[in-house]
Each structure stands twice: as structure tokens, then as C-alpha cells.
Amino acid sequence: MEIKGSRIESLRKDLSRLLGGGKVRTEPEDLLAYSSDATRYYAQGKPEAVVLAESVDDVCKLLRYANQYAVPVTPRGAGSGLSGGSTPIKGGIVLDMKRMNKILEISKGNMTARAESGVVLANFHRAVEKERLFYPPDPQSMDVCTLGGNVACRAGGPRGVKYGTTPNYVLGLEAVLPDGSVMNTGGISVKQANGYNITQILTGSEGTLAVITKVNLRLLTLPPDRKTLIIVCDSAQLAAEMVSRIIYEGVMPSVLEYLEVGAIWLMNTYSPIPVAQDGQVYLLIELDGTAAVIAEDIGMIKSLSEKMGAREVKIIEDKKQADGIWKARKNLSPLILRIFQKSISEDVTVPRDRIPEMVRAVREIGALLGVPTGMSGHAGDGNIHPGVQLYEITPEMEQKAEEAIRLMIEKGIELGGTISGEHGIGLHKSAYIEKELGKAQIELMKRIKYAFDPKGIMNPGKIWTEA
Ligand SMILES: Cc1cc2nc3c(=O)[nH]c(=O)nc-3n(C[C@H](O)[C@H](O)[C@H](O)COP(=O)(O)OP(=O)(O)OC[C@H]3O[C@@H](n4cnc5c(N)ncnc54)[C@H](O)[C@@H]3O)c2cc1C
């Protein structure tokens, strides 16, 4: 096979011959649909072909071909990423993994599961929960995002505070290297000490090293009960201080979200039973476990809230209201876009005890630059998702937004935090990673990349900026 003439036409012919025409897309509207991830307002890059893989064999054949002709390959799950990770900025082939969507095994005895990487997370949740098992990672995009995308980005979500994030559950992977060879890393044992931890190198590799085709995941037992409560605070400072104190006092909520009153207002436009807007900042909490443990935790939270001066603790007894609140929380990002033309949600994450300083800094940055800022996030793990929202997209406001984001990221690093707690670096944070990790570590990452991908075909232009 040879790439000659129009690249798109050559790729269409070659890939159709290699994989079958039904798996290859080169029409302009298809290429446009794959030109960015959920950060559509940022840089885009048109692919020259899209491949919808149906088997490991398809992935092997495709990578062997791309490697031979040095064609860039950008793996893609649902494209729900918020860092530009699956945006094909160097053109080439976007490899869509969503057709590889079988759950292969759920083992109650071993409490593990094996699935193809294109399985949608919410489908996986439903399947394991039928067996009274529990897979905690819960990015709010769970109705669309894929297990492979979650592993590749080290995705988190609200339950990270108690249960950790995706990397804590990955036991092993099947992955295809750029030369087309298949490897199985790790396994299904809950402990492994078998040399370099290649599973965890691939976890968070953002499609830059290999294509993940199968995942082996650890499961827990489904908690028997849950309860939702809301602590209403009159100041951001108090709410931020309460986050650390609740956990220090021995209560480990399964979810601990920090929401400003504007977020509650937006959520009320969506949920059937609204929450009274009688405070400035709300801590939306879910407790899980046995009924007795939950009751004890509620007692602790009530007495702490009283001691620290919170306005009220609302226990949401009505299941319909609780479900409505969590559904609205899950849809907060799209709800924001009903009001604003553009919303940039950052995932700078700081140590929990530095949240009060981060909250103060975000508000000061907004006031300094005259841009609306907001915070609504997984505060229990230090990830308050500071963001900038624009009523109107003008060059002046865009510039101010960019500056505000830069200042927030720098503040996060200064407070001992990280530039990304769960979205990954992709394109949009690549200018900052060296500042956090230092030159030596980036050089080591580049050498690791070279060992996996000597021709540099895998998702080029991501994680670090090119010299
Ligand atoms: C409304 C909304 C809410 C969100 N909430 C959260 C949240 O709470 N927590 C959170 O962590 N994230 C959240 N996200 C971000 C996003 O959903 C996650 O990063 C998710 O893990 C991306 O999965 P995906 O399947 O869409 O991957 P994609 O966006 O398609 O890809 C993401 C990265 O993974 C790589 N990749 C994808 N599949 C593979 C594979 N099989 N092999 C190798 N590399 C691969 C891609 O190349 C890319 O670099 C949210 C996004 C939206 C739009």
C-alpha cells in the first residue's frame, strides 16, 4: 500500500481495503465531527480519515499501516474530554473506539471485570450494579464517556473523595503498540509486583503511547444505603474551611461538592423539587454505607455545622428530590451554557487544606480582570473546578479569560496543587506542565514516549509543547 495523490483519497482507499469500507469515514461532515473534543471553542484539527475499529485485529492492522507510513493516529472514546486530548491537531487518522463496547466478564468471586475499552461508563455501572457490585469512578459525563477514555485521562468524579479515581481500579490492560503488537499488562490480581508498572504508565497516557483495547477493573460491593444532605453556608470561606474539618472529624462522605448559589439557581431550573436559595455557598454531600453509619455521620455533621456557624443542614429525605438534585448536578456544565456563551472549567486541584486560599484567589482574579468566575466541584478532593464564564465572546473578553485561567493555574501550583486533577493535560494545559513537573521529568516522559512510539505517530502534539 502506498500513500500517494490526495492524502484523504489515498487513506480512504487503503484503509477500506485493509479494514472494510464500513469502518472508514472520509466525508467532510464526518471529518468535521471529529475535529475536536468537548472543548470545541478551542483549537481544532481536521483528521484526514476516521476509523471505527470493531476488534483488536482492526486496531493492530491500522497501527501497523500508520506506523509504516508515519501517519498520526489519535485514539478517541466519546470525545467528551475537556483538555483537547482527542483533537487531531496534526491531522491523520482518528481511531474511534466506541464500537468495541462489550463487557466480557464480571466476576463476583474475584470482584473484577474485564471489558472492551469502548464501553460507555454508565452502561458498565448498570451492569455491575445488577450483580450488587460497585465501580466508583463517576465522571459527570458518564452517560457518554468510555472506559478507555477514563483510563487514558485518569478520570475522576465526585466520588473521588472517598473512593479514589480511575487509576485506583485499573488492574491490567490489553493495549496495542504503534508497531501493531498486542500486550497484556498487569492482570486481574489485586496485588502485583511484577516489574515496571506498565499498566499505570498507560493509565493517564492520553493516547500518546498505545491504544487501550481492553481494561481489567477492580470492583467493590455496592453500599447498602445512601443519604443526601446539604450544608448551607453564608460565606465561601466558611464552606471551604468546613470541607477539611468534616473529613478530619472522621466523616468520609462518598461525595462532597462545593456549589455557589448561582450553581444552585441553575440546578433549580432543572430539578423537579428546587433547593431553597438561602445561603451563599452549599456543600452538597452524599453519605453511603449502612443506615447506622449514615445516621452517626449525620449527627457529626450537624454538630460540626452548628459549632462552625453554618446556617443550616438540610437532610433530603425525599428520594425524588435527592435524585433530581444529583441529576441537576450532573448536568451543571450544560446548564451553565444556557446563560453564558462560553464556559471554561478548569480542574486545578489543591491540597484540601488550601481550598480556602484557592477560593479567595479565584474571586480576586475575577474581580481584578472583570470576568465572571465560578466554582463548583469535587471539593472533598481539593478539586473545586474554578472556571471562567463569558456572556459574550469578544477578543477582549477571550484575552481576559485566558489571563484569568493562567493566574488560577499558577495559584494552584503555588499552593502545592496540580494543574490537572482529572481531565488530563492534552492540548490546553501543555504550556503549564513543565512549570509543575520540571524539565527533567518532561525529558524522561519524552524518552518513555520514544520507547513506545519511536516514529511519534500516537496523538502527537499533546501533554507538552513542542520546541
Ligand atoms: C459535561 C462533562 C462533565 C465531565 N465531568 C467530568 C468529571 O466529573 N470528571 C472527569 O474526570 N472528567 C469529566 N469530564 C471530562 C471527560 O468526560 C473525561 O475526561 C473522560 O474520561 C473522557 O472520556 P472519553 O471516552 O470521552 O475520551 P475522549 O475525550 O475521547 O479522549 C480522552 C483522551 O483519551 C485518549 N483515549 C481515548 N480512548 C482511548 C483508548 N482506547 N486508548 C488510548 N487512548 C484513548 C484520547 O486520545 C484523549 O487523549 C467531563 C466532560 C464533560 C463534557
Q: What is the CATH number of domain 103-221?
A: 3.30.465.10
DSSP letters, 232-264, are EES-HHHHHHHHHHHHHTT---SEEEEEEHHHH
pLDDT tens per residue across span 112-124? 999 999 999 999 9
Find out whether 153 and 239 touch, Cβ atoms under 8 Å.
Answer: no
Taking phi first (over 0 means left), then psi (-120 to 50 degrees means alpha), and beta for anything else, what does residue 207 get?
A: left
pLDDT band at 4 (very low <50, low <70, confident <90, very high): low
**pLDDT score of 5:** 57
In the predicted structure, residue 2 carries a pLDDT above the cut 60 = no
* Distance between Cα 152 and ligand 1 center (Å): 8
Hey, how many other C-beta atoms are within 10 angstroms of the C-beta on 132? 10
Instruction: Tell which CATH classification among 3.30.2270.10, 3.30.70.2740, 3.30.365.10, 3.30.420.40 matches the domain 340-414.
Output: 3.30.70.2740
pLDDT band at 153 (very low <50, low <70, confident <90, very high): very high
Among 86, 213, 329, say which to mutate for ligand 1: greatest number of ligand atoms within 8 Å of CB.
86
pLDDT tens per residue across span 364-381? 999 999 999 998 888 889
Average pLDDT for 319-345: 92
Domain 225-328 CATH assignment equals 3.30.70.2190: yes
Which residues contact residue 261 at a Cβ distance below 8 angstroms, ignoring those fewer than 6 apart?
277, 279, 280, 281, 282
Grid coordinates standing for 212?
A: 487501550
Per DSSP bridges, beta strands 342-345 and 373-377 are unpaired
Which residues have any ligand 1 atom within 6 Å of their CB?
A: 37-38, 74-82, 85-86, 97, 117, 139-141, 145-146, 148-150, 152-153, 155-157, 206-207, 211-212, 333, 422-423, 426, 459
Fold of 7-96: 3.30.43
pLDDT tens per residue across span 290-317? 999 999 999 999 999 999 999 999 999 9
pLDDT tens per residue across span 438-450? 999 999 999 999 9
**Predicted model pTM:** 0.95
Where are the domains positioned within the chain?
A: 7-96, 103-221, 225-328, 340-414
Nearest CA to ligand 1 atom 44: 207
* Distance between Cα 357 and ligand 1 center (Å): 29
Same fold, 225-328 and 340-414: yes
Whole-number Cα distances in Å, 91 to 35, 46, 207, 337: 9, 6, 15, 29
Query: What phi and psi, each to the nearest 5 degrees, are found at residue 274?
Result: -70, 160
